[in-house]
Structure 1
Amino acid sequence: MIDGADETMTQKNMVQAINEALRLEMRRDERVVVMGEDVGKVGGVFRVTQGLWDEFGDGRVIDTPLNEGGIIGTAIGMAAYGMRPVPEIQFADFIYPAFDQIVSEAAKSRYRSGGEYPCPMVIRTPYGGGIKGGAYHSQSPEALFIHTAGLKVVCPSNPYDAKGLLAAAIQDDDPVLFFEPKRVYRAVKMDVPDEAYTLPLGEAKVVREGDSLTLVAWGAMLYEALSAAEQVAEQGISCEVIDLRTLWPLDLDTIVRSVEKTGRIVVVHEAPKACGFGAEILQLVSEKSFLHFQAPPARVTGWDTPFPYTLENEYLPLAHRVVPQLIATANY
């Protein structure tokens, strides 16, 4: 972490914060390389890597073919030889051709080699809806990777967290999936230190104190959770809102402490409901805090359908869908 007394702050959006984290880590450690489709001269489809090629050149900012399996397979080889690659998958929806490389190779490298070959790599990818991307540019596949032992999964909701968590992920010796909510890329600006800093992986943050119920979210859905919490506050319902930040390893202790105070929990995520990460969170909390429950645990999620184009706002668990569940849980 940086020394807070010496830091200078600048208003940044998430694109700028991530770009700065990459730039500072590449300056700090020559083993860090960025690779992916159009990440070089173009700067990526969302311009997140813009300017890196100008500073670091072809050897460290590598434009690759449109071959996700090849991108990740190459990054695994780089990591085995001591480099710290940061491959980008242009959209999380396109990660599936690389699924075997991620879950069968990257996730298991340290275990299979008895610790001799860790796999220090960060797979960056924009995920989720909210930009009219339709069925092939809007999915939220985080649960698939949380299910796989050996992977860490991070999902920041704001520019400050994105910069600090990405730096920590790059410095980590294990493979990290770094999901970036593209709906938030340029929608949120906040003060972010100009200097390098890290935030620890595996620590959630209570972003709103409350005592009526616990409301858990991550990524873009944090803002829907906060909006819903504001609306129900007018009815005397006080929500404690938790931003997970790191999905796996899960900061279960923070959630349990909150639930044991409030007696109620609602989880919001935009992935489909069936086998979504919300189900695992509620089960883990139930195992720890069942006797504290004053209402059934609940989820507000995406639907178990392909992600629609014209009905995007009906699919996403926006605040107007979250509010009725908060009222029902609080008044149970």
Structure 2
Amino acid sequence: MDRAEIVHRNFLSRVAAQDFPEGPSPRAGLSGEAAVSLFRAQCLSRALDRTSRAMQRAGQGFYTIGSSGHEGMAAVAHALRPDDIAFLHYRDAAFQLARADQVPGQDMVWDMLLSFACSSEDPISGGRHKVLGSKALMIPPQTSTIASHLPKAVGAAYALGLARRRPPEHRELAVDGIAMCSFGDASANHSTAQGAINTAGWTSVQGGPLPLLFVCEDNGIGISVKTPTGWIEASMGHRPGIRYFKADGLDLYEAHAVAREAAEYVRRRRKPAFLHLRTVRLYGHAGADVPTTYLSKAEVEADEANDPLLHSVRLLAQAGALQPDQALAIYEDSCALVEARAREAVTRPHLQTAAEVMASIVPPSRACAATNGPSAQARAAVFGSDLKAQDEPQILSRLINWALADLMLEHGDVVLMGEDVGRKGGVYGVTQKLQTRFGSDRVIDTLLDEQSILGLSIGMAHNGFLPLPEIQFLAYLHNAEDQIRGEAATLPFFSNGQFSNPMVLRIAGLGYQKGFGGHFHNDNSLAVLRDIPGLILACPSTGAEAAMMLRESVRLAREENRVVVFLEPIALYPMRDLHEPGDGGWLSRYPAPDARIALGEVGVHGEGADLAIVTYGNGHFLSRQALPEIAAAGLAVRVIDLRWLAPLPEAALLAAVAGCAQVLVVDECRKSGNVSEALMTLFAEQGISAARLTAQDSFIATGPAYAAPLPSREDIVAAAVNLAGRGV
């Protein structure tokens, strides 16, 4: 007999014998009707856990991480409002069931059974994963979370405060709402949890509104590793800027009373709070997990003896809300209901094709208010003397700065955030003057934590803002890439397009910085970005192109709900000359504020038919530098700037190389795992003769050897001439 069946039989026999675990009397604050409703949600949650295991044994269900022992979360749901956005731990079925009782028209048992069965009719994920989540209940879906949802909960809470001062066009959350996130005691040790909690306290101490309730469900163990006794309270009980609350989650009445007190504190003070909720874990981690392999039988039985449903029956009886025989009837009716409905749920259809699975990778577009761009008066007020300078050729970094200013003028919900972007104006001056022009709540100097920067962006997008976060260097993204891969990019996929978190993530990156920083500041690997489904990766090379591509990136995020990464080549920020000192060949004029380069539109320089050089970023600059020498060898060449690296602009690219005898791919990134591999595959599939010149599979050194592993102008000339069969 497995532990789930043991717990079930223990409950039946102990309630019948009125053999209950000891505990305090019920606290005030819950009406009898409300308490019975919450107990019903607890029973349904328990029945769903048992049924999910039966479905898996029958090959009809695909998820068995349950909520048994955590049913006290039903009381937390009752302490909150149904429009308070909730980012849930995967053991929070009772929370979702109790919240559904607050919103008319919900059939959460049926919805969750469809999710267990991975039916295409599952209303939250469309059969893509078993997730807790509901648009109607303001619960964005989570996959098997550790703590990766906590940074975006901080962002959502920050957005609630900012929306009071600057209401965004697509605001989702109530003005007086709060945000809530829940997680386990083991997850509290994860870097994403620690970063989010630290960021919340950091913001609160500085006086910023951050109405966020952290709920730590402490069952004392993470899969098989025990949490040290007293660890959560010792480590979280005195965090600066965060009020600590503690409750027994086995006690429905106490959990509700303390959760309500914590929620009222957060709502009234607009400050974060930490609710430490004692729970137990029943059954083990999941269906295949046998807890007695790493816990003694006595420890397992001690937790089972503290079954929160047994505590609830005792408390309901003591409160005069429900007699034990009536509670037993509710439990048995819940089991029968769930079993009966499961028999129907497993007959519902599933996703069948790749197209069906992929249908929600790209979210649906949304209606946006029309805009004619910033007025002449507004531009004059913001730009001042820079308006006259816009008539003169400028460097890349300055044109990006002006494009950001125009975008912030045009769209009041555009918000920039990142380390040093405000008062300093960015490490390379790209965001200079923007904080002065638009305020510190639209150009936000963040703490040094890339996970929190991206979480802030994701959470703010949940409330209708259009975030433009900055990661200072491409290498720093690796500290936080899961916030893009596992959170931002997957949200439309796992919500069947119902939730999205559009943003334009600006990253300074790539190589060729002379003698500065080594691979920490010269990172030429894009592999972690190019393989994320649905993500758009843009890489400009000239200032005018950067301005027009940035505008298109913002349009894609604002109107089409896309996640865009805008990769800015650091080495080209200050570039002025192309061939000779003082020639100004890489400067460009600021394009009109309404000029854009559309997604998938490539750049073509020249009309030569002997060779097409396909490249991007610094490779575009170097290829243009190489043209005179290549031409001197008698070759007629065209240079094609990809601009959009993901998804690859295949149709435009094939049209651009049409009629050329040879194709040379120049990829400044490493030979393995980068753009050139996809390009060579495309050309091979189309029967086009091509070769590639790439960086070596190496990190970049500091000092004189900074460019040694990277393609050079001389390398491009040699490769072009050799490919054309002319020899050097």
Indicate yes or no: 2:432 matched with 1:38: no
Give the AA of the match of 2:491: S
Match of 1:206 in 2: 604
Match of 1:316 in 2: 710
- Of 587, 591, 595, 1:197 maps to 595
Alpha-carbon distance between aligned partners in 2 of 1:207 and 1:143, rounded to the nearest angstrom: 27
8 Å contact from structure 1 (residues 221, 270) kept in 2: yes
8 Å contact from structure 1 (residues 229, 238) kept in 2: no
8 Å contact from structure 1 (residues 270, 316) kept in 2: yes
For residue 202 of structure 1, report the CA deviation from its aligned partner: 1.5
For residue 198 of structure 1, report the CA deviation from its aligned partner: 2.1
Match of 1:185 in 2: 573
For residue 263 of structure 1, report the CA deviation from its aligned partner: 2.9
- Of 562, 566, 569, 1:174 maps to 562
Alpha-carbon distance between aligned partners in 2 of 1:55 and 1:196, rounded to the nearest angstrom: 21
Match of 1:233 in 2: 631
8 Å contact from structure 2 (residues 525, 670) kept in 1: no
Alpha-carbon distance between aligned partners in 2 of 1:106 and 1:181, rounded to the nearest angstrom: 24
For residue 79 of structure 1, report the CA deviation from its aligned partner: 1.1
Give deviations 1:9-66, integer Å, cap 9, x for gaps.
4322111111111111111111100000011111011111110110111111100011
8 Å contact from structure 2 (residues 676, 692) kept in 1: yes
Match of 2:695 in 1: 302
- Of 494, 502, 526, 1:142 maps to 526
Q: What secondary structure, in the 3-state scheme, does the structure 2 residue paired with 1:15 have?
A: helix
Alpha-carbon distance between aligned partners in 1 of 2:501 and 2:545, rounded to the nearest angstrom: 23
Give deviations 1:263-284, integer Å, cap 9, x for gaps.
3111112111112211111101
Of 28-37 and 219-228, the range deviating more from structure 2: 219-228
Report how many residues are paired.
Answer: 325
Match of 1:256 in 2: 654
TM-score by length of 2: 0.43
Of 149-158 and 19-28, the range deviating more from structure 2: 19-28
Of 69-78 and 245-254, the range deviating more from structure 2: 245-254
For residue 194 of structure 1, report the CA deviation from its aligned partner: 5.0
Indicate yes or no: 2:387 matched with 1:12: no
Give deviations 1:70-109, integer Å, cap 9, x for gaps.
1101101111221100000011111101110111111112
8 Å contact from structure 1 (residues 10, 193) kept in 2: no
Alpha-carbon distance between aligned partners in 2 of 1:224 and 1:217, rounded to the nearest angstrom: 9
8 Å contact from structure 1 (residues 126, 179) kept in 2: yes
Give the AA of the match of 1:163: A
Q: Could you say what the CA RMSD is over the residues aligned between the two structures, in angstroms? A: 2.1
Q: What secondary structure, in the 3-state scheme, does the structure 1 residue paired with 2:659 have?
A: helix
Alpha-carbon distance between aligned partners in 2 of 1:267 and 1:216, rounded to the nearest angstrom: 5
Give the AA of the match of 2:706: E
Q: Can you give the 5+ residue segments of structure 2 that lack an aligned partner in the other structure? A: 1-371, 374-386, 577-586
For residue 126 of structure 1, report the CA deviation from its aligned partner: 1.0
Match of 1:89 in 2: 471
As a proportion of its length, which structure holds more strand?
A: 1
Q: What secondary structure, in the 3-state scheme, does the structure 2 residue paired with 1:21 have?
A: helix
Alpha-carbon distance between aligned partners in 2 of 1:257 and 1:197, rounded to the nearest angstrom: 23
Change in CA separation of 1:198 and 1:263 when aligned onto 2, cut-off 3 Å: same
Q: What secondary structure, in the 3-state scheme, does the structure 1 residue paired with 2:707 have?
A: helix
8 Å contact from structure 1 (residues 9, 193) kept in 2: no
8 Å contact from structure 1 (residues 203, 250) kept in 2: no
Q: What secondary structure, in the 3-state scheme, does the structure 2 residue paired with 1:167 have?
A: helix
Give the AA of the match of 2:528: L
Change in CA separation of 1:194 and 1:240 when aligned onto 2, cut-off 3 Å: closer
Alpha-carbon distance between aligned partners in 2 of 1:301 and 1:18, rounded to the nearest angstrom: 27
Which of the two has higher C-alpha Rg?
2
Q: What secondary structure, in the 3-state scheme, does the structure 2 residue paired with 1:11 have?
A: coil
8 Å contact from structure 1 (residues 252, 285) kept in 2: no
Match of 2:379 in 1: none
8 Å contact from structure 2 (residues 485, 532) kept in 1: yes
Alpha-carbon distance between aligned partners in 2 of 1:271 and 1:277, rounded to the nearest angstrom: 8
Indicate yes or no: 2:656 matched with 1:243: no
Alpha-carbon distance between aligned partners in 2 of 1:77 and 1:107, rounded to the nearest angstrom: 13
Q: What secondary structure, in the 3-state scheme, does the structure 2 residue paired with 1:300 have?
A: strand
Alpha-carbon distance between aligned partners in 2 of 1:145 and 1:261, rounded to the nearest angstrom: 32
Alpha-carbon distance between aligned partners in 2 of 1:308 and 1:139, rounded to the nearest angstrom: 10
Match of 2:249 in 1: none
Match of 1:329 in 2: 723
Alpha-carbon distance between aligned partners in 1 of 2:407 and 2:509, rounded to the nearest angstrom: 23
Match of 2:286 in 1: none
Alpha-carbon distance between aligned partners in 2 of 1:258 and 1:198, rounded to the nearest angstrom: 19
For residue 110 of structure 1, report the CA deviation from its aligned partner: 1.7
Q: Can you give the 5+ residue segments of structure 1 that lack an aligned partner in the other structure? A: none
Q: What secondary structure, in the 3-state scheme, does the structure 2 residue paired with 1:97 have?
A: coil
For residue 257 of structure 1, report the CA deviation from its aligned partner: 2.7
Of 7-16 and 253-262, the range deviating more from structure 2: 7-16
For residue 139 of structure 1, report the CA deviation from its aligned partner: 0.8
Change in CA separation of 1:13 and 1:79 when aligned onto 2, cut-off 3 Å: same
Indicate yes or no: 2:545 matched with 1:161: yes
8 Å contact from structure 1 (residues 93, 138) kept in 2: yes
Alpha-carbon distance between aligned partners in 1 of 2:488 and 2:615, rounded to the nearest angstrom: 27
For residue 259 of structure 1, report the CA deviation from its aligned partner: 3.7
Alpha-carbon distance between aligned partners in 2 of 1:21 and 1:228, rounded to the nearest angstrom: 30
Match of 1:217 in 2: 615
Q: Percent identity?
A: 33
Alpha-carbon distance between aligned partners in 2 of 1:143 and 1:209, rounded to the nearest angstrom: 31
Alpha-carbon distance between aligned partners in 2 of 1:259 and 1:39, rounded to the nearest angstrom: 40
Match of 1:129 in 2: 511
Alpha-carbon distance between aligned partners in 2 of 1:210 and 1:119, rounded to the nearest angstrom: 43
TM-score by length of 1: 0.93
8 Å contact from structure 1 (residues 33, 86) kept in 2: yes
8 Å contact from structure 1 (residues 225, 319) kept in 2: yes
